[in-house]
Amino acid sequence: MHRLTDIVVYRTDPVVYIGPDPMSVFYDHVMNESKIIGEIFKNQKDMLPLSNEQQTKYDAATRCTACGTNFSAKNHKVRHHCGVSGNFLFPACNNCNLQLKTSGCKKSTDKSKF
Task: Say yes or no: 77 and 104 in one domain.
Answer: yes
Task: To the nearest 10°, report the CA torsion of 58, 60, 65, 67.
Answer: 130
Q: How many domains does the chain have?
A: 2
**What is the pLDDT, as a whole number, of residue 102?**
60
CA 28-33-8 angle, 5° bins: 145
Task: Say yes or no: 70 and 107 in one domain.
Answer: yes
103 or 12, higher pLDDT:
12
Task: Say yes or no: 107 and 82 in one domain.
Answer: yes
What is the tens place of the pLDDT at every residue in 47-92? 999 999 999 999 999 999 999 999 999 999 999 999 898 999 999 9
44 or 107, higher pLDDT:
44
Task: Indicate if the pLDDT at residue 109 is higher than 80.
Answer: no
Alpha carbons 101 and 114: distance in angstroms, whole number: 9
Task: Indicate if the pLDDT at residue 106 is higher than 70.
Answer: no
Kindly state whether residue 106 falls inside one of the protein's structural domains.
Answer: yes
Structural domain including 27 reads 8-42
Task: Say yes or no: 56 and 92 in one domain.
Answer: yes
Task: Say yes or no: 61 and 109 in one domain.
Answer: yes
DSSP bridge partners of 92:
78
- CB distance 12 to 3 below 8 Å: yes
